[in-house]
Chains A and B, each alone.
Chain A
Amino acid sequence: MTEPNRLVEVNDLEVVFDTVEGRTHAVNGVSFSMDAGETVGIVGESGCGKSVMSLAMLQLVPRPHGKIARGSIIYYQRGKAVEITKLNPTGKAMRALRGNEMAMIFQEPMTSLNPVYTIGEQIMEVLRLHQKMDNTRAKQRAIEMLEKVGVPDAAQRVEEYPHQFSGGMRQRAMIAMALSCTPNLLVADEPTTALDVTIEAQILELLAELQRDINMAVLFISHDLKVIGEIADRVIVMYAGWVVEEAMREDIFQNPQHPYTRSLLAAIPRIGRRERLVSIPGRVPSLSQLPPGCFFAPRCPAATDQCRREEPQVFTVNQGHTVKCWNYWDKEVQKTS
């Protein structure tokens, strides 16, 4: 009963870390799916498990302390289902997928580019590994890719080292590297957070353009709803390792249902808006000491006794719009009216 266009399915995924401070539940039963060519945005405050979630997609959860404790990730490779969670993270099958069919870009490109190799060498490395290209062809392709992502004088800059690139250029180089094998899925973990808005606009535009070209699905992670709104078709709101709301972009902005989503929207300063910002009291709970019931209850204006006792159920608001909350907005409206 899977849809023909399905690319990834994540079912009840749980990722934990065992540290000296106890067991950290970074991802607590996340389920969602992505279709080919679709852009899905994940949003949430710092420490909500967004990065861990995205690392898990590529079997990159830092070991030995971290592990996928439960659930599955299914990737449809040309229609054939591959259960990624069953693959050995360092095994051949996983390595062949990673970088080739699934690629990732990170927030701080400086830490993911190796400072001792030129930009060109790093892109060529990927191509040699996955596409078995020889040196001349790989180099040609590297220059092509850099041109495509808007690096001026690509033929010359391909010989330069990461520190000779500005922040925005480095991010472009990272994108060139990630896209060099035309992946079907790109996981982008806050790729524009470290950049100026002007450069961010350039990068988002570039991503959207390249995505149309090669029909690639993008999982775009950000803590900024406004940025998510610029790029995503569908938005997933994460809180303390849970998906608390999932909907099409318009629904998230125009018809938010979860108290957390509503608070996030109210906290954004917007130009021309003069009323006081609404802040969410407190902060994300420590993921090693999660409260019983709803994890958002200590900060939630709508919390009831039931919330503090029982984990909320997932309700469907309408087609494609789900919310994990006992007292989601429409329910409240129905109750009061």
Chain B
Amino acid sequence: MSTETLMRVSNLKKYFPIRKGVLRRVAGHVKAVDDVSFQIRQGETLGMVGESGCGKSTTGRSIIRLIEPTAGSVKYRTAGQEEEITHFNKTQMKAFRQRVQMVFQDPFSSLDPRMSVRDTVSEPLFVHRMGSQKERTEQVKELLQTVGLSVTHLNRFPHQFSGGQRQRIGIARALALRPELIICDEAVSALDVSVQAQILNLLQDLQSEFGLTYMFIAHDLSVIDYISDRIVVMYLGKIVEVATKQQLYDNPSHPYTEALLGAIPIGEKRVGEGKRLLLGGTVPSPANPPPGCTFHTRCPYAADICRQKEPVLESVANSGDHQAACHFTTELELKSFYDFSQVDRSGA
């Protein structure tokens, strides 16, 4: 894995207007993504985690302009040159679409029910006018084999497949244009553990086979831990912590990260009385985020300053790789994941 930056996102914002009344006047904004900066490095898997409604999908979609960001810059490195994709015109955008693809969450709605597997997987090739129909079919067969489906499935329709198989079809479609970066938006969240393991293994193998870079969005920290190299934790449209996974589990530096780690179901005996850490309340509405630190409404360590001043994302200790956005990062003694469980980590 190199440390070269493939995508550099700076100060990205996405505000959705809230319209009210018959005249559909803009009455406010949902701040789905609010000033987010991060990088994706060539060949890595960047995990993104947070409760639902924290703006993970919106971030994933904005950085490839599936929805237009409100503000901010997204730079993508092509042939050693960083290009600003928010300024791309239509033709440049179409060329860019070949480099970055997406795998979606819902194995049921992400495939058009009226399209056969052949049509679905060859759609990207068709849109980009690649090869003749016959060549495209050959490519589809190859792709199906790559993702572990039988070529006898070519003419079947989505409803004839299980959730895991449908997710494979979605992955085959994403691979068709030979992209460099794949954004997986909750790609395994809807699957059973047994099938989830199949897909996670498949994604890992594809990464080493094709040298792919992943941005992997999930709300399950154990999945994120398994597949990612670095992890971004989001809360209410903002990044609250960025760390390598080792740093995150050994030394979480934001109370929200601690809470997420504490809430992971273990299924086995817990340390001491072995309670799951309870984070009270729910994510506030992003249309009306709390002032100061947005997490202060639920944070067990909140002090006065938290209600007034917004913390900035700063390096933790002297590691440039590890950043957190909390006024008390250095003072707090947050529990690591291993304080909640007795899981043997000799496998590390």
Find the residue from A224, A225, A272, A284 having the highest chain B CB count within 10 A: A272
Find the residue from A253, A279, A280 having the highest chain B CB count within 10 A: A279
Q: State which of B51, B193, B260 has its C-beta within 8 Å of the C-beta of A225.
A: B193
A160-197 interface (Cβ within 8 A of B): 166-169, 196-197
CB distance from A301 to the nearest CB of B (A): 13
Using Cβ atoms and an 8 Å threshold, which residues of chain B touch A202? Answer: 278-280
CB distance from B49 to the nearest CB of A (A): 10
Using Cβ atoms and an 8 Å threshold, which residues of chain B touch A276? Answer: 201, 204
Find the residue from B194, B196, B219, B338 having the highest chain A CB count within 10 A: B194
Q: Counting CB contacts under 8 A, is A271 at the interface?
A: yes
Q: State which of B268, B279, B337 has its C-beta within 8 Å of the C-beta of A272.
A: B337
Contact A230 B276, CB 8 Å, known A271-B343, A272-B343, A277-B226: yes
Asked if B197 and A279 make an inter-chain contact with CB atoms under 8 angstroms apart, the answer reads yes
Using Cβ atoms and an 8 Å threshold, which residues of chain A touch B348? Answer: 272, 274
Asked if A230 and B266 make an inter-chain contact with CB atoms under 8 angstroms apart, the answer reads yes
Residue of B nearest to A166 (CB): B282
Using Cβ atoms and an 8 Å threshold, which residues of chain B touch A284? Answer: 162
CA distance A204 to B266 in the complex (A): 13
Asked if A198 and B194 make an inter-chain contact with CB atoms under 8 angstroms apart, the answer reads no
Residue of A nearest to B345 (CB): A272
CB distance from A101 to the nearest CB of B (A): 30
Q: Counting CB contacts under 8 A, is B83 at the interface?
A: no
Using Cβ atoms and an 8 Å threshold, which residues of chain A touch B72? Answer: none
Asked if A280 and B200 make an inter-chain contact with CB atoms under 8 angstroms apart, the answer reads no
Asked if A46 and B264 make an inter-chain contact with CB atoms under 8 angstroms apart, the answer reads no
CA distance A20 to B198 in the complex (A): 31
B311-345 interface (Cβ within 8 A of A): 337-338, 341, 343-345
Q: Counting CB contacts under 8 A, is B249 at the interface?
A: yes
CB distance from A111 to the nearest CB of B (A): 16
Asked if A199 and B282 make an inter-chain contact with CB atoms under 8 angstroms apart, the answer reads yes
Chain A proximity mask over B275-288: 1 for CB below 8 Å, otherwise 0: 01111101000000
Using Cβ atoms and an 8 Å threshold, which residues of chain B touch A46? Answer: 163, 192
Please give the residue numbers on chain A whose beta carbons come within 8 Å of chain B beta carbons, in ascending order. 45-46, 166-169, 196-202, 204-205, 223-230, 253, 263-264, 267-281, 283-284
Please give me the 9 A-B residue pairs with the lowest Cβ-Cβ distance, nearest first: A229-B267, A272-B345, A226-B267, A279-B197, A277-B197, A269-B226, A267-B197, A226-B265, A279-B198
Please give the residue numbers on chain B whose beta carbons come within 8 Å of chain A beta carbons, in ascending order. 51-52, 162-165, 192-198, 200-201, 204, 219-223, 225-226, 249, 259-268, 276-280, 282, 337-338, 341, 343-345, 347-348
